[in-house]
A and B are shown apart, each in its own frame.
Chain A
Amino acid sequence: MRYIFKFPDIGEGLDEGTIAEWYVQKGQQVEMGEPLVKMETDKVVTDIPSPRDGIVAALYGRVGETIHVGSPLVEFDLPGIDGADAVSEVQKPVFEPVNEEGAGVVGTLEVADNSAYLPPTDEVAPTPTAEKPLPRRALATPVARAMARELGVNIDLVSGTGPAGRVMKEDIENYVKRESSGHYPPYQTAASTAATLNTASAGGGRAAAGTVVPPASEAFEIRPLSQIRKTIARNMIRSKQNAAHMTVFDEVEVSELIRIRYKYKEAFEKEGIRLSYLPFILKATALALKQHPVLNAELDLDNNRMILKKHYNIGIAVDTDDGLVVPVIRQVDEMTIRALATAVNTIAEKARRRDISMEDMKDGTFTITNFGSIGGQFAVPVINYPQSGILGIGRMVQKPVVKDNQVVPGTVLPLSLSVDHRIVDGGEVTRFLNKIMEYLGDPVSLIIG
């Protein structure tokens, strides 16, 4: 098998040598260790011995020629091994050149007084240190911090959308945009009126909620935010920022509804069910949603689609001591007026007991807000995002109405319907509202179909 012996680096860092004399010739049998050639290099003149027993097959170079380290020098015919074994036999580890190497009395010391000494170290019996939890600090690069400072923003108040919650430049920009609705002064102004804070508040500020309490005065009452309040605030702004709110107002004459309700009211009360107008409104809404599915839908912009829901779970906005909650009644379309009345009662009871759970509020597809029970005729309700519409019920009032060309006293229910104009167009909105008004104006139509 053929083996090419390359000129090795024998002098540590050499890169070439000159052939001074060949000791062997082609065809000659050589033994391992037998000198092959005399090489002249910068450092030494030396004989290169054969690495192997074998027959010289070829010599690479003439006397006087310069060979580079690593270039072929002599080719051998080695006895015996062939093929793959041969290759591994010949595989030599690569060597790199190695560099050769040529081998008080004085002062004054302060002395402590015997009366003053430190207490013993706590390390022998280590004591755990209880640490107070610290206020939130933003993660941010120096560049982002500089930007925040320039814009007069307290970076610790900006929520971060970057890796590991890092505050990015866009977050600061967005924060500024939101804040520039302008009516609230930045937090640090309130803080800096407090005499207790001594550290200079450079633009960025540092203190966060809970650590700075301005002195009580007639000018302010400070009320910390509850979890619900924070959630409501977050949801409201999210809804307004995302949905293209459009509201349609109308009134429906409901004398017929009043008569029917009155007719069944006592019978229901005997069963312990309080019958209000809400069950009728719920039913009307559900049936109208069935016919106008885009009002019971959700816009999924990320995937370029809208999701039309085939279940009709209507939430009812309830005002509690803690704030606004929206418990949901599921599958309203399949429920009878009686069942709906029961459900409404249950919700009212739970609300009184402050017992409305997260479960109760899940899976809503549409929302009704009955502010009229307290007061007000019309409003521009905020959609319960990500739903597409919300129906606001105002206070029933007695008004003169025109019937058969005559002006007669009537009772009118005001309706305010807000929709997400991104997926609900004007025509659909009004058709939907008309349907509801049809049902409420003529309740029997709820069962006629």
Chain B
Amino acid sequence: MKIMNMVNAINDALDIKLKEDPNIVVYGEDVGVEGGVFRVTEGLQKKHGADRVFDSPLAESGIVGTAVGMAAAGLRPVVEMQFCGFVYPAFNQIISHVSRMRNRTRGKYTMPIVIRVPYGGGINALEHHSESMEALYAHIPGLKVVIPSTPADAKGMLISALESPDPVMFMEPKRIYRAIKQEVSEDSYSIPLGKGKILHPGTDVTVIAYGAMVREVQKAMVMAKEAGISVELIDLRSIYPIDKELLASSIKKTGRVVFVAEEPTAFGVGAEIMAIANEEAFLYLQAPPKRVSAFDTIVPLPKGEHHYLISPEKIFYEIERTVKF
């Protein structure tokens, strides 16, 4: 056991797998010598060599495109997109090839690629550094999208992604890169992709969140407890495939659901949750399912960000309104 934050945990997962699997290569802008702008890949090049962990030219489409070739030729590339806002030049490669090559070649070539993306706001950054566009990737058939909320989950889920035969968008909530420390096992362990987790059982309302918002919901739950509301908190963890079974059984149990995320609301992951609540638990619902997510606007620059970010108080406000319906 070792106390790690999420950066350490991700680094540990990469370190373990780089050692175990000679086919894994890690590359992207600044990930080699500098160890990544968030130091997530620190020390890995020294340990595993510059042909396994290296810096690439500044070209996102080229980074993902070359990964396609490497994967077809038998490697397991782990590429880093420096910030979620910079994935867009690579979007064509992702949607046209990464997600489709298996289907196009009927399984002859598969894409065991992990695309790591720090995402999300709340870090007082410039434009394009605070995006939360996971819904775009979840909507692409052939891709998997996962988002951890704790260091231990990050390590286990990344190890699973590194062993997955399918391409995985591994989205890292940068706001909590260093904000949470946890006792994490130093061994290799994997947390299966596609599964959510009940972090806290409850009876009055199911609250679903992922990434950095899990912590905000936990703060809201303190207020909820004082108000006598028993919250069942689910960490979604996997955006696609989504753990429908878990969500359905919880919503049937409590009869109420509140979804919390930092993405813009319209047509987002939350819309899918609303559909699930209705399709799977229609007869059990005691209140309309509710999305608590960001405005359908561009993320404001730091001075205006406080208007935009979802506060624990806002989460509690919506939980209470749902329970009192």
Q: State the A residues within 8 Å of B (CB).
A: 104-114, 116-121, 123-124, 129, 131, 134, 137, 139-142, 145, 166, 198-200, 202, 204, 206
Contacts and interface: CB of A to CB of B under 8 A. Distances in A.
Nearest to B198: A129
B253 A134 contact: yes
A74 B183 CA distance: 80
A134 B151 CA distance: 33
22 contacts: A107-B124, A108-B124, A109-B179, A112-B181, A117-B3, A117-B182, A118-B150, A118-B151, A120-B185, A121-B153, A121-B182, A123-B156, A124-B156, A124-B185, A131-B201, A137-B255, A145-B286, A199-B204, A199-B228, A199-B324, A202-B324, A202-B325
A109 B253 contact: no
B183 A142 contact: no
Given A112-B181, A120-B183, A123-B156, A107 B5 contact: no
A105 B198 CA distance: 35
Contacts of A111: 178-179
A120 B152 contact: yes
A386 to B, nearest CB: 33
Q: Is the interface of A mostly helix, strand, loop or mixed?
A: loop
A119 B286 CA distance: 35
Contact of B227 (A110, A117, A139, A198): A198
A105 B191 CA distance: 31
B109 interface: no
B1 interface: yes
A294 B33 CA distance: 100
Contacts of B1: 120
Interface string B146-178: 000011110010000000000000000011111
A144 to B, nearest CB: 9
Interface string B172-203: 00111111111111000101000001100101
A113 B180 CA distance: 9
B246 to A, nearest CB: 13
B58 interface: no
B125 A106 contact: yes
Contacts of A166: 283
B203 A134 contact: yes
Contacts of B83: 106
Nearest to A196: B228
B95 interface: no
Interface string B263-296: 0000000000000000000111110000000000
A162 B189 CA distance: 48
Nearest to A167: B283
A198 B175 CA distance: 36
B129 interface: yes
Contact of A129 (B150, B201, B253): B201
Interface in B116-160: 123-126, 129, 150-153, 156
Which 8 pairs across A and B sit closest by C-beta, in order of nearness?
A: A107-B125, A104-B37, A107-B123, A121-B152, A117-B181, A198-B228, A118-B182, A139-B283
A153 B286 CA distance: 14
Contacts, number: 101
Given A121-B150, A145-B286, A112 B180 contact: yes
A212 to B, nearest CB: 13
Contacts of B180: 112, 117-118
A425 B126 CA distance: 92
Given A106-B83, A114-B181, A121-B150, 15 more contacts: A105-B37, A107-B125, A112-B181, A116-B181, A118-B183, A119-B183, A120-B1, A123-B153, A124-B156, A124-B185, A134-B253, A198-B227, A199-B204, A199-B323, A200-B324
Given A134-B253, A199-B229, A109 B150 contact: no
A110 B175 contact: yes
A112 B3 CA distance: 11
Contact of A119 (B129, B182, B227): B182
B91 interface: no
Contact of B178 (A110, A123, A200): A110
- Interface size of B as a range: 35 or more
Nearest to A124: B189
Contacts of A114: 3, 181
A171 B85 CA distance: 55
A328 B323 CA distance: 52
Interface in B275-325: 282-286, 323-325
Contacts of A206: 286
B284 A137 contact: yes
A118 B284 CA distance: 34
A108, A109, A113, A129 — which one has the most chain B CB atoms within 10 A of its CB? A109
Contact of A120 (B125, B176, B182, B253): B182
Contacts of B189: 124
A243 B178 CA distance: 75
A139 B284 CA distance: 5
Contact of B175 (A109, A124, A140, A141): A109
A213 B198 CA distance: 29
Contacts of A104: 37-38
Contacts of A106: 37, 83, 123, 125-126, 129
B5, B178, B283 — which one has the most chain A CB atoms within 10 A of its CB? B283
A112, A113, A137, A142 — which one has the most chain B CB atoms within 10 A of its CB? A112
B129 A112 contact: no
A124 B184 CA distance: 10
A198 to B, nearest CB: 4
Given A104-B37, A107-B124, A123-B152, A112 B191 contact: no
A436 B87 CA distance: 96
B193 to A, nearest CB: 13
A50 B227 CA distance: 82
A106 B84 CA distance: 13
Contacts of A199: 204, 228-229, 323-324
Contacts of B253: 134
Given A121-B153, A124-B185, A198-B228, A109 B123 contact: yes
A109 B174 contact: yes
Contacts of A121: 150, 152-153, 156, 182, 184
Contacts of B197: 123
Nearest to B179: A110
Contacts of B5: 112
A118 B178 CA distance: 13
Contacts of B324: 199-200, 202
A391 B283 CA distance: 47
Contacts of A117: 3, 180-183
Nearest to A117: B181
A130 to B, nearest CB: 10
